[in-house]
């Protein structure tokens, strides 16, 4: 059962109209079976209708809480899975990055060796186009 408060009204005013009562709560300021359902304040700080109060003992409230608990659990599980997938992807990409760095080092060494090799050759040993040397 949901009851809207009038602006300026006490939270316990008019609550017992058909709602289950708590033993020993007569004249008490707290209503243990009622909980605020959320803020009903409008943007800009102006209040529209005050807070909604919901009976914790109602089946609708229990059903809503159960659905919310399931949604929270599902969301947390999804976040954990996503985090684990990201960690796995990080490991894979780090390994690939290391492999590529090693390949760069090897290719740099090969290039350096080839440059050194070609610098050692005499200039006449290179084939000159039109110099009379024919490949058969």
Q: What is the pLDDT of residue 78?
A: 99
User: Nearest 10 degrees: CA dihedral of 104, 110, 116, 119?
Assistant: -100
Encode pLDDT of 24-69 as tens digits.
444 445 566 777 765 444 555 555 566 677 788 899 999 999 999 9
Q: What is the pLDDT of residue 24?
A: 45
Task: With a cut of 60, say whether residue 11 has pLDDT above it.
Answer: no
Asked whether 54 and 61 are in contact (CB, 8 A), the reply is: yes
Q: 117 by DSSP, 3-state: which?
A: helix
Q: What is the pLDDT of residue 12?
A: 47
* Least reliable range by pLDDT among 56-65, 92-101, 122-131: 122-131
Q: What percentage of the chain has pLDDT greater than the value 90?
A: 46
């Amino acid at each position: 059962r949901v009851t809207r408060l009038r602006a300026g009204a006490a939270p316990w005013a008019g609550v017992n109209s058909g709602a289950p009562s708590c033993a020993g709560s007569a004249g008490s300021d707290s209503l243990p079976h009622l909980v605020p359902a959320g803020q009903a304040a409008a943007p800009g700080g102006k209040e529209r209708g005050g807070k909604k109060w919901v009976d914790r003992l109602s089946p609708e409230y229990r059903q809503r809480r159960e659905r919310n608990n399931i949604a929270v659990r599902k969301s947390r599980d999804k976040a954990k899975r996503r985090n684990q997938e990201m960690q796995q992807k990080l490991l894979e990409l780090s390994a690939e990055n290391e492999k590529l760095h090693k390949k760069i080092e090897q290719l740099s060494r090969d290039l350096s060796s080839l440059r050194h090799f070609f610098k050692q050759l005499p200039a006449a040993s290179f084939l000159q186009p039109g110099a009379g040397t024919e490949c058969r």
